[in-house]
Amino acid sequence: MGMIHGDDYRESLRRVKPEVYYMGEKIDSVADHPAFIPHINAAALTYDMAWAPEFEELLTTESHLTGEKINLFTHVHHSTNDLVQKVKALRALGQQTGSCFARCVGHDALNAIYSVTYDMDQKNGTEYHKSFVNFLKEVQKEDRFISGAMTDPKGDRSLPPSQQADADQYVHVVERKKDGIVIRGAKAHITGAVNALGHLVMPTTSLKEADADYAVCCYVPVDAPGLVHIFGRQTNDDRKCSGCLMDQGNPEYGIVGGEALVVFDDVFVPREQVFMCGEYDFAFELVERFATAHRQNYGGCKVGLADVLTGATYALAEVQGTATASHIRDKLVEMVHLAETLYCCSIACSCQGYALPAGNFMADPLLANVTKLNVTRYIYEMARIAQDIAGGLLATMPSELDWGNTKVGKYVDKYLKGVTDVPAETRMRLLRLIEGMTCGTALAESMHGAGSPQAQRIMIMRRSNWERKKRLAQKLAKIGEQPKLV
């Protein structure tokens, strides 16, 4: 098969029966619940756009395993061109959804695990890579949406996994059987968890020998016995269930990726779906390669969202009669400057990618971390500018229910109008879109998605080659030698 459509994806969600809770209630059908529909719509677009002639070249490629045409999100990169294509595709999707479309996390997990299983087999004579390649063929054949489940709750962060008072603060192996393993613990903030079909579980940090039980990587279907999903609250998420479409800002695709706490309560994993079990010395490589791939993304998808935000801010300035003011134009130019700077970072780390021993390509880790660290600053600055131009009504605007009320609606319509020939509804819709994109959950994801700023600083510290920089300076300063006078 190789590629499916968005409706096929929706039907696949109806066929599985994961245990999902939201607002204290168990959800019967994820695909039909209003809290999840926007996230499902955004993910479904990754399927439908791959069939559209104008996006086909960006969102499809050829499988290096089968030679068949596949969706980009099931592909393992084999060139710097592949890495650049990914960034361009993410920007295009961000422009079309104005939201997180969730599939890139599982995509990055596929690429990281592909290379690390190969390295483990080369060193230890295991057969993880063979198992993973067979799994990858299934994912490509079914065009399966999977999540990447890396982040653990972590408990006391001053202690490693094996020294936690509660051993379950990190996912770990509690039993090894002939035909598989049993794992326990949880993964937090998992993007697209409730609307994925399965989770690729990975360790979240470097590990030592004492932490060997925590060195586990495996695939778990969403409806595996013992697996529980607890959907996270989001800014203004009550609006999705209240019938207020305008007040949602982006009712079709939502604001962020639909994160959840995923609990593994003694979940059995068959041997063929286990891709690391005890190889603690490879945990750091897996974390770094996944983090590099995921941080590479942010100058793509976030810039796509920034294009939408900049467009909304410009349109609102026109509606409010301020678009020709020089200070407004300067601020809009700054938004574009910041966005394109992030895009340059993602393109640069992609162009400077390199081949790993398994044959797949990884983006430049230093530049990928610079990309994400810049995101934690520039996206906030763009949001600040958008809120500045929008004005105070962004925070105080009445609900669409008041606008539609037979008694007071005429006042809302009268006093929220900007320029004469544009209805108040246009201004209200733009304000709600900007509100959703610049307040609360969306900004927090820009800060902590793919790792918090300190995680990027640590990686930059490790990759900066301080000694070489020092030698360059010492050479020019003639340290340890007598300068020659010309």
What Cα–Cα distance (Å) separates residue 145 from each residue in 149, 222, 268? 13, 11, 21
| Alpha-helix runs per DSSP H in 16-158 | 37-51, 56-59, 80-97, 103-124, 128-142
Active site residue 298: yes
Task: For the beta carbon of residue 351, count every other beta carbon within 10 angstroms.
Answer: 15
Q: Does 11 qualify as catalytic in the annotation?
A: no
Instruction: Give the whole-angstrom CA distance, residue 330 versus residue 341.
Output: 16
Q: Which amino acid is at 411?
A: Y
State the catalytic residue, choosing from 218, 277, 301, 349: 301
277 as an active site residue: the answer is no
For 243-259, the DSSP string reads: T-SGGGSSTTT-SS---
Among residues 191, 313, 371, 376, which one is catalytic?
A: 191
Task: From the candidates 39, 46, 104, 172, give the one annotated as an active-site residue.
Answer: 104
CA distance 327 to 382: 15
For residue 255, give Cα distances in angstroms to 5, 38, 56, 343.
Answer: 22, 8, 25, 21
Q: Is residue 475 helix, strand or coil? A: helix
Active-site choice (75, 100, 204, 314): 100
User: Measured at the alpha carbon of residue 66, what is the angle toward residues 64 and 67, in degrees to the nearest 5?
Assistant: 70
Confirm whether 425 is a catalytic residue: no
To 10 degrees, the CA torsion angle through 461, 465, 471, 476?
-80
Instruction: List the one residue out of 310, 354, 291, 359 whose CA is nearest residue 150.
Output: 291
Residue 104 appears among annotated catalytic residues = yes
Select which of 294, 313, 349, 441 is catalytic.
Answer: 294
Phi, psi dihedrals of residue 66, rounded to the nearest 5°: -120, -15
Catalytic, out of 298, 314, 343, 378: 298
**Among this protein's residues, is 435 annotated catalytic?**
no
Our answer to whether residue 445 is catalytic in this structure is yes
Active site residues: 100, 104, 191, 259, 294, 298, 301, 445
